[in-house]
Amino acid sequence: MIMPLIKGLQITISHMFKKPVTLQYPTERPDVKPGFRGLHALNVSHDKAKCVACYLCPTVCPAKCITVEAGEDQNHDKYAAKYEIDMLRCIFCGYCVEACPVDAIRMTEEFELANYTRADFTYTKDRLLEKK
């Protein structure tokens, strides 16, 4: 009867001298592992978004949170006149990244996405481009 109790306390006390497993967030920052799927970012090449508005990401998106509208630029090329992600709907599955044929979208390590208004969760093309 007493032995199991002592054994239990032994484990408890031993932990008092070990490094804690919890992270003292936000003073301590987590070490984000490679392959983490955080906030999206649109890749840039030659000062232009790489996105060619092929609509594969909105097509594959299971949460239907991506809105793309294609436009025609001066060289008659296709570009995303509008690229929006509704972060409230996004399930961070990463299919958009996987589907992209031109490596135009990636997922960053950013995970602190809390905000104050609903509108703040609509990430427009400009906001997605900010983090290069």
Residues in the site for other proteins, rule: CB under 8 A? 52-56, 59, 70-72, 76-78, 101-102
61 annotated as ligand-binding = yes
* Residue 35 C-beta: closest distance to other proteins, Å: 25
65 annotated as ligand-binding = no
CA angle 49, 64, 126 (to 5 degrees): 25
Residue ranges of alpha helices (H) inside the chain are 2-15, 56-60, 95-99, 125-130
Task: State the Cα–Cα distance between residues 96 and 90, nearest whole angstrom.
Answer: 11
Give binding residues as ranges.
51, 54, 57, 61, 90, 93, 96, 100
Give binding residues for [4Fe-4S] cluster as ranges.
51, 54, 57, 61, 90, 93, 96, 100
